[in-house]
Amino acid sequence: MTRRSSAFAIETSGLVKTFGDERAVDGIDLTVAPGTVYGVLGPNGAGKTTCVKMLATLLRPDAGEARIFGQDVVREAQAVRSCVSLTGQYASLDEDLTGAENLILLGRLLGHGRSAARARAEQLLDAFVLTKAASRQVRTYSGGMRRRLDIAASILNTPDLLFLDEPTTGLDPRSRNQVWEIVRAIVAQGTTVLLTTQYLDEADQLAARIAVIDHGRVIAEGTNGELKASVGAGSVHLRLRDAAQRPEAERLLGACLNVPVQRDADPLALTARVSGSQGESAGQASRALAELARSGIAVDNFSLGQPGLDEVFLALTGDSAQHAEGAAA
């Protein structure tokens, strides 16, 4: 192993990449602890792929620095290459070759002898349930199979750091779950994973820490919990028995929680954002519920929802993820 001692798997400061007038990456600072999944979350065009390409030595930064396990991505590029793998947004496989040939070729390029490369390919195909498709050209593979082969290719030599650039974009839910399982298994063995995604639940599911990026900048960084806490604890949803009582319920709820209350499209429903920590908001909500009962307002259904990362994104960018995506596209 060529890994040099460093406290961080990834360390960047002021990373910049411009394409013409557009600052695709505009001063990104990241630190990623080894052995964790780090999520980079942002809409299309936010600069995620450009950032990953710089870290994987595919693009040269225009300004700033990036180190992978203490090694500079520009000056020590070959050393970095020997400890990282990249699974790009578009499967980086040779479509004309079979699945087995793709893996054998990469095995040879990573320094394995003929028989060792073949043995490793067979093991990987087996582990990724691709043995039956091994001697078929990759062009005949489905999206999920392609992605599995692509990840298999990335762990041919167990990397210290694996970049997964939007690994589940365009996959059906079943394939997506498979990829998630694979990512969990890889991290459990000590590999650090940097995962970019535009799916909020994916970052939520897999990543220990998340950086939200937009227009080439990090606009928020922290654990899932920290990011959620930064927008408030969540929302209270109520469904009343009698629509006529809604104005009264709205007034009471507003007074109790001290926040604006929203009338939903459903004439029986009300929603209120609650602030403060999760413990506090639960207390507030239960007091509000008691208050409603005392005033004789019948509540059929009540829930205290955790804020999703969707709401986090909305709060951070002042725009919904979907909308930002539409604007960037």
Residues 151-190 contacting another protein, CB under 8 A: 153, 155, 157-158, 174-175, 178, 181-182, 184-186, 188-189
Minimum CB distance to another protein, residue 70 (Å): 17
- Pick 118 or 217: Cβ nearer another protein: 118
Q: Where do runs of H (alpha helix) occur along the chain?
A: 48-55, 77-81, 99-109, 114-127, 143-154, 173-188, 200-206, 224-229, 246-257, 278-294, 309-317, 321-328
Residue 203 interacts with another protein (CB under 8 A)? no
Which is nearer to another protein, 30 or 100 (by Cβ)? 100
Nearer to another protein, 157 or 278 (CB): 157
Give me the sheet containing 63-68, strands edge to edge.
22-32, 10-19, 63-68, 71-72
Kindly tell me which residue out of 64, 144, 254, 276 binds another protein, with binding defined by CB under 8 A: 144
Cβ pair 69, 51 in contact under 8 A = no
| Cβ distance to another protein smaller for residue 58 or 304 | 58
For the chain, the distance separating the N- and C-terminal CA atoms, rounded to the nearest angstrom, is 41
The nearer residue to another protein, 12 or 98, going by C-beta atoms, is 98
Choose the stretch contacting another protein; rule: CB under 8 A; options: 148-156, 200-208, 218-226, 310-318: 148-156
DSSP 241: S
User: Residue 81 or residue 217: which is nearer to another protein going by CB?
Assistant: 81
Contact 5, 70 (CB under 8 A): yes
124: contact with another protein by CB under 8 A: yes
Asked if residue 108 binds another protein (CB under 8 A), the reply is yes
Residue type, 40: V
Taking the least distance from each CB to another protein, the nearer of 70 and 144 is 144
Q: Which residues within the stretch 252-311 sit at the binding site for another protein (CB under 8 A)?
A: none
Task: Name residues contacting another protein, limited to 7-26 (CB under 8 A).
Answer: none
- Report in angstroms the alpha-carbon separations of 295 from 63, 79, 80, 292: 63, 70, 67, 5
CA dihedral 75→81→84→85, nearest 10 degrees, is 140
Q: Is residue 122 at the binding interface for another protein, with CB under 8 A as the rule?
A: yes
Size of the site for another protein (CB under 8 A): 74
Q: Is 315 in the site for another protein (CB under 8 A)?
A: no
62 DSSP assignment: S
Binding part of the chain for another protein, among 62-70, 141-149, 194-202, 231-239 by CB under 8 A, reads 141-149
Can you give 165-176 as a three-state secondary structure string?
ECCCCCCCHHHH
67 is a site residue for another protein (CB under 8 A) = no
Neighbouring C-alpha atoms within 13 Å toward the C-beta of 278: 9
Residue 136 in contact with another protein, rule: CB under 8 A: yes
- Residue from the set 7, 63, 90, 223 that interacts with another protein by CB under 8 A: 90
- Residue 272 pairs in a beta bridge with 236, 261
